[in-house]
Chain A
Amino acid sequence: MTTTEAAAPDDTILYHHFDDLDQQHLSSVLGMWVFLATEVLFFGGLLAAYVIYRALYRGAFIAAGEHLNVILGGINTAVLLTSSLTMALAVRAAQFRRHDAVVLFLSLTTILGATFLGIKAVEWYRDYQEHLMPGVDFDWAKAQAGRHEPSPRPDGRGTEGTSEVHEAGPGAGKSTAPSASVRRAESEMPLPLLPPPGGTLGEEPTTTEAGRAQLFFCLYFFLTGLHGLHMIIGIGLLAVFIALVRRRWFSGGGATQIEMLGLYWHFVDIVWVYLYPILYLIDIKS
């Protein structure tokens, strides 16, 4: 990859507490990376929880993950990667002091970011319709039944689907009633590491697997929700930066400031680059 030195005349204001513009720029870069490190660990807590529970409750998490829409998630990944490209081009334009191009590319980034959130909202609404939203409407039996009925799978009859294949093993039976089959699977299911919560299962439809699937969706909504919050903040920042660039508010064409905004935006992109495979892709059956 070839790079060139900044061609534009340097009109950046040097603040008095810096020795030179290089030091001023580096301090901005380092400060931003320190912030991003805290962000990595902010997401890291949720990620670690997800990794641990995925390792413990693999079968239920696979069954739950198969409810997510791989295609919409993939389109969203493409949208976000494209927004990273426009963001990188905005930084480049700022380095050349091409203000109109900066405004154009920042606007494109904003539009792509909003597109991502729009698609995400559609996904969330579908999850809600499929009874997959913990705390609002979570019904694992209904969700499993709804998943298997419309799909033209040759093997699919009722709810004795993926979950039992993974978790119950060879004993997975031919029972027809969804609650009975789930309950039976649960009684047969070896619990290798942790005891079932409480032990008072019975009249409620909350089986162990339903609880684990609910845990998956809790983590899913918090991970994607926290990511979505960062997108909203990013779009807000983009709007402010567009207004400021239009007013020529920055010294040095805002090259450093827009680069820092770019670092934030690319970071949010990287988070999604990891969320997409671990939530949508891993272990699904074709």
Chain B
Amino acid sequence: MSQHILTVRANLTVFGVLMLLLIVTVAATYAVPVRFGVFVALTIATIKAVMIMMYFMHLKFSDRLARIFAAAAFLWLGILIALSLNDYLTRGWLNIPGK
């Protein structure tokens, strides 16, 4: 069987980085100007999510097919959010009479 086994040390390292990023994201909330807050927070959250998926969820050592399956989930989530926002945020741009 080709299941890869992460060492305890690797597990602890990933965990340590995740906790560090948690502290960073809370600190950044108060330190970063409000207008960049969303980007900083979501970037850190995405780094954390990718680390969890790569190491804790073994995607780094998995078959490529598994990685494609995982990526597809987030691709579709991105389509859902991006295209919905594309609609809602541009509705006021055109002054259509009677709207």
List the interface of chain A (C-beta within 8 A of B). 1-7, 10, 12, 21-22, 25-26, 29-30, 33-34, 36-37, 40-41, 44-45, 47-48, 51-52, 55-56, 70, 74, 77-78, 81-82, 84-85, 87-89, 92, 95-96, 192-193, 255-256, 259, 262-263, 266-267, 269-270, 273-274, 276-278, 281-286
Task: Write 15 A-B pairs (CB below 8 A) sorted by A numbering.
Answer: A5-B4, A25-B2, A33-B69, A37-B72, A37-B73, A40-B77, A44-B80, A81-B22, A85-B14, A95-B5, A96-B5, A266-B52, A277-B44, A278-B42, A282-B41
CB closest residue in chain A, given B15: A85
- Give the 5 A-B residue pairs with the shortest CB-CB distance, closest first: A37-B73, A277-B41, A33-B69, A40-B73, A286-B30
A262 touches B57 (CB 8 A): yes
| Chain B residue total in the interface (Cβ 8 A) | 57
Q: Which of B26-68 contact A (CB under 8 A)?
A: 26, 29-30, 34, 37-38, 41-42, 44-45, 48-49, 52-53, 55-58, 60-63, 65-66
User: Which listed residue, B19, B25, B77, B85, touches A55 by the CB 8 Å rule?
Assistant: B85
Q: Known: A6-B5, A89-B11. Contact between A26 and B45, CB under 8 A?
A: no
A6 touches B1 (CB 8 A): yes
- Compute how far the CA of A22 lies from the CA of B59 in the bound complex, rounded to whole angstroms: 15
A259 touches B76 (CB 8 A): no
B15 touches A82 (CB 8 A): yes
B49 touches A273 (CB 8 A): yes
Instruction: Say how far A35's CB is from chain B's closest CB, in angstroms.
Output: 10
CB closest residue in chain A, given B61: A3
B56 touches A92 (CB 8 A): no
- Compute how far the CA of A83 lies from the CA of B51 in the bound complex, rounded to whole angstroms: 15
- Compute how far the CA of A283 lies from the CA of B80 in the bound complex, rounded to whole angstroms: 24
